[in-house]
Structure 1
Amino acid sequence: MSDAVRKKLAKRFGSEERSDCQVLFFLEPEPEPERTGAASSVSSSTEHAHEHALATDAQGRVLVGAPLPAHSHVLSDGSERFCAELERWKVGAVAAAATGAAGSTAGAGAAAASDDRSAAASSSSPSGCAAADAHAPHPAKRQRVDGDGAAAAAVPATATATAAAPPPPPPPCPGGRMQLFVGLHHPDELRLAEALLRFMYTGEVSLRSAADLLRARPIALRLAVEGGVEACDSALRALFSTTHGSDASTAKSLVEELYTCRALLPEPASSAGADPTGPQLRAVLMASCRSAMVRSCKGMALPAAATAAPAAAGSGAGAGAAVAPAPAAAGAAPAAVPVGELLAFAFEDALAVLNNATALFKLRQLPAAALEALLASEGFGTDDEASVVVLLAEWRAANTEAAAQGDTLKRLLRQVRWPHVCDEYLLHVVPRVGWLGVSWERAAWLSSYARATLSSTRAALEVAALTYGASYELDAPGHIARRRPAARPLGARPFSMEVASAIASQASLDGAPFKWTDLKVCARGFMWTVAVAAAVDGCGVRLACGAPRVLASTFVGHAYPGKDVTLQVLNAAGGVACEEKSGTCHRCVGIGLSRVLKVKTGSQEERESLLRDGRLHGEVVWWE
C-alpha cells in the first residue's frame, strides 16, 4: 500500500467522507468473572473519565456518545465480528425487500377495490390524508425510553399487529447507512473502543498508558479486531522495555504504574484459548518488573541496630522501615506504594521464584534490606512457609559475604513465619540445618504450637517457652504474623524420557539404576523429581521427593509433604494410562521414595499405545 493511500485511509476515520455505515456504542451487562478486574480498571482510569451523552434507542439499549461514521469495507476487513454483522445486514435487507415486494403485489387488488370508499372518505374529511400519514411507520431513531416500557405503549395497534410477524432487520440510519452496535461495560471504555477502531484505519494504537493498553486487550478480543491484541501487547512490551535502559526511579515508576492496574493483567494460563497471547505477555511484563525492582533496590541498606535485645524487640519496626527506603519517604506522594509490596508484586510468590531460573537469579541479586522487605510483605504468597525457607537458603548461598555481616542473617530469619512451616519440614529438615538456628526442642515446640487451636493452649506454650530464654524468638515479626497468601497452584507439570532402548534391553528393575527425567519442581520446600527404570515386561516410574541441594549437604533423607500429589503416565493419545497417588491420604510412605508405578510395554502393541516417538510421557499433578 502506498503512503498516499495509507494517509488518506487514516484521515477517513470518523469522517463522513464515503461513509456507508455507523458504529453505535451501548452499555451491556458485564460478565461476572470480569467484574473485579473491571472495577479496578475503572478506578485506575479516573483521570480520563468524562461525561458522555447517554440516550436510549427504540430497542432499549443505553447508547454512549455520538454515532461514529465508518466504512464497511474497512470494518469487514479488520474484524471478523463486523464482517459477520455486515453480512447479516445484507441478508436481512434482501429478505425485507422481498417481503415488501410480495406484500405490495398482494395488496394491489384490495387497494383497487377500495378506491370508491377512499375517495368518499377523502371528500368527507379534509384531514384524512394527514391522519394516514400520522400512522405511517417512521424510521427508527434514538429516543429516551422509560424502564416500564412507556414508549411501547405509544405504538399504534397496526404496529402491534405487525409485530407478530418475524422482526425485520434493523432499519438503516438516515442516509441509507447501516448501523453496527458495540457493547461496552462502562462509559470509560468508549475511548478505548474508538482507539481500536482507529487502529483498523491507521495500523497504530494511540493508547500510551499500561492501564489503557491492558483494558483495551479484552475489548479487542470481544470485537475480534485483527491484530488488535498483538498491537496492544507490542505497545506494552515497548513501554516496559525502557526499564532496562532508564534510571532506577523511572524503572520503579513503571512498576508502580503496573501495580495500580495489576487486576487487569492476563492470567498465567488462558482458559480454552480465549487469550492465547496473555500468558506470554504476563511473563514478559513480570520479568521486566523484577529487573526494574532489582535496579531500584540496589544500594538499599538495613537500618542499624544498637544492641541485640532492643533489635529483637523492635524488629517489626525495623522491617517496616526497610520497606520504604529513605529517599522515597522524604518526598513521596501520600499514596506511594511500599517497596515490599512492589517486590511482592514483581516476584509474585515463592513457587513462581523457585521454579523459574530467571526469577531466582533476580532474587539472588536483591540486597538484604530488599529481601527483608519482601519477606515482611503481606502480599508475598507461598504454598507453605517451607518454600520461603528454601528461598532464603538460595539467597544465602549466593550472598555468603552479605549474609555473614553483622546480624543480617538473624534479621532475615526473624521474618520466617515458623509456626506455619509444615510438620514434615520442621521434624525432618529444619533441625539438621545449623544456620537456621532451630533446635530439635524448638521444632517440636513449633509443631505443637501450630496444632494448638485454642488461644489458651498457645498462651500456655508461650509461657513454657520463656524458660528457654530468647532462643524461641517469640517476639519476632514472623512468629506473630499470619499465614501468607496462597501461591498459584502448580497444577500439572509434564515430563518425558526416552525409554525405547531401555525397554528393548529387558533389564531387571531391581538391578537397573533409575534414570532421572527432566522434571524438577520445588513445592512445599521439597524438590520433586521423576525417575524411570526398565523392567522385564516394561518399565517402572517412581516419584521422588527430597530436600533441595541448597540444604541437602547437611543431612540425608526424603520426606513427603502432606498434600496429595498424583503421578500420571500418559498414553500416546494424551490420556491417562495409569497413575499413583501420594500424600497423607494415599499410603504416605514417610521417609524414602514412593512406590514404583509399573508400566507394561512388553509387546509391540503396548509400546505403540503408550510411547510417542520412543518417549514415555507423563505428568505430576499437585492438587489444591
Structure 2
Amino acid sequence: MPPKFNERVAAGLASLFGDNDSTDCSIVFTLSQPGNAKSTAHAAGRAAGPSGAARRKKRKADKLAQEHEDRAELEAGVQVVGEPLPAHTIVLRLASERFKTQVERWSADPSGRAGPSSKRQAVAAGLPQQGGGGGRPQPQPQPQRPPPLQLRVPLGSEEELPAALAAIKFAYTGRIEAGSITEALQVRQQADYLQMEGCVEACVAAVREKLAAPVAAAAGVGTAAGAAGASSSAGATSSAEQAPPVLQLYGCAQLWPDPKQEPAFAALLTEAKPQLVAHFGDALAVLNKQQLYDQMRALPAVGLEALLESDDFGTDSESSVVLVLAEWMQVNYGTTDAATRWRLFGLLRLSQCSRAYLDWVLSALALNHHCHPDSQAGWFWITPEQASFIAAYAAAASDNDRATLHQGLTCAWICGIDRAPGQPARPPAAWLQGRRRRQCVPPEGLRFSWTCSPVQLQGSHWLSLGIVGTPHACSVAAMGLQWFPRIHHVQGRPAANINLKPDVPAAYQQGQQRTVRLRGADWGFPRPVAMLDAALYLHRRLGGGQREEAQVLTTSSEKLELTGRGGWTYDCIKLTQAPAPPQPQQQEQRGQGQKTQKQTEQDVRALVEAQWADYLEGGVITGCLNIMRPA
C-alpha cells in the first residue's frame, strides 16, 4: 500500500519547526493573569464534549476570550517568556483550531497590520515594552511592509514553556516528545488549550505506552509477605529508584482532564487502577513497609480511593484498611474537602472490622467527631448511634435482624445530617457490605524480623524490640492496632521475660498526649482487645555455624488483653548463670572515681553479653514475630 503522505514533504515540514526559512509568522509566549483567556478557554474545553455543537460552542468561547485578552493587553503590559518562535501559518491553521482563529481574525485587518494592538506591533518591532522579558530584537520593517503576523500563547508560568513548545512541534512532526508521564500530561494540557488536532490523543497514547513498560520492582514490594522480610538496606536502595509509572500518573493528578469529558483518558485510568492496587498489594504491606507507607501517604485522594474501592486490595481485617485511611488523613486532611472525605469514608466496609473496632474504636472516633466536628481531631464523620448500629449489624445472626439494623442505621444517618453538612442522603452501601477483601496473610503466616543490642539490655525495664524495615521501628501493624514485642530482663537473673503489647496507633491520637485530658476519646485508657494469633521466636546458636529458632511466646485471639499491657511468658528465655555485677567502690579522688565508674559499665556489659552468649550473633540478638492468618 502506498504511503498516505509524501515522506519527503513530511520530513521537510518537520525540519521547518523553529526555522526562520519561509516563516510568515511568529509565536510569542506570555505570562497570563488570573481570570484571563487561558483559564476561560480551559473551562470551555472541560465543558465541551466530542459533539460538533460542543466544538462550535468552544470556538465561540475562544473568540470571546481572545477579545478579552486583547482588551487586557491594552490596559497592562505583557510579560514575554523566552524567545519568539518562528512559525508558518499554513501549518498552524491546519493543526490548531485556536491558531486558525487567531490567524483569521488578525489577518482580516484591511490595513494589513499584524496583531490586535499597538503593543503587539511593539513586540514585533523589538521595541521595549512594559512588563519586562521582551523578545529578541527584530530588524525594523520597511514602512511599506507590515510586520509579520504574531500569534500569542499565554502560559500559567515559565515552567509551562517546554510543554507548549512540544505541543506546537507536534503540528510539524506528528510525534510527542516526552520523557515521562508527567511531561506527556503537561503537553496534553497545552495541546488541549491550543486545540491541537490529534495531539491530545497522542499524549494519552504516550502515557499508556509508558504505563505498559516493564518496571524493575524490588522483591516483595506490594505484598505483606514481602514487607515482612524486607531489610532496612533494601528499603533504602529501593527508595532511591525511580517511582513506578503508575505512581507517576497518580502523582500528577492536577494535570488530569475531567475523565467524564474525555473517554480515552477515563479508559486509561480504568487500566491503571489494577496496576496501582498491585503495586501496593495490601493494607499490611502498606502499614509495615517504609517505602509503601511513604508512597501511600503521598497519594492524592483519587489514588487512595482506587485502593479502598478495590476487592483486590488485601488485608487481614477491615480494621487495617481503616487504619490506612487514618494514616493518610494524618498528613492530608488539610488538602481535602467535605465531599472528598465522604467519598473515602463511604468505601470502608465497617461491619467487617475486628471486635476491638466494633466494640470501642469506632465509638471513640464518633466521640471525637461529636466533640470536634470541624477539625482534624474529629476527622472520621460517624455518630455514636451509627457506630452502635454497625456493631450490632456485624453481630446479627439472621437476615431479619440485619434488615432491621440496616433500617436503624438509615434512621440514625438521616437524623445526623444537620450535624454533617455535605453528608449524602443515605448511608454508604459499603459500610454494611458482606463481600470481603482478599485475605493477605498466607497460611504459614507473616514473619517480621527484629533485632536487639546487648547494650539495650543493661537495665531493669521492658525493652521494645526493633522491627526491621517498618515505619514505626518498634511495632508491627495488624488488625488495625500496633503490636510491640518486648523483652524484660533483670541483670544477673538466669532468665528473661517476653511479651507482645497491643496499643492504639498514633494516627488516631492526633497529637493528644495521655497526660493532657481533652474533650473526646481518652486513647490512653486501657481497652480490651483480642490478642493476635502469633508466635515470637529467638535465634539461638547451636555451634558449628548453625542456629535454631526457639519459640518463646505464643498468643491466641481467644484470649483478651488490655491495650498497653498484652500477654507475656515469664522466665521463657533461659540465660547462662552469671554472678551479680560488681559494685563501684568509693574513691577519694574524683579522677579515680570516674575510672571506677567506667570500669563498672564495662563489667555490666560483659555480664550481659556472657548471659546472652547463646543468642548473640554478630554482636546482636535476633529473632522474628510470626503473625498467623486470622481465624
> Which TM-score bucket, shorter chain as reference?
0.3 to 0.5
**Could you tell me the TM-score, scaled by structure 2's length?**
0.47
**Could you tell me the TM-score, scaled by structure 1's length?**
0.48
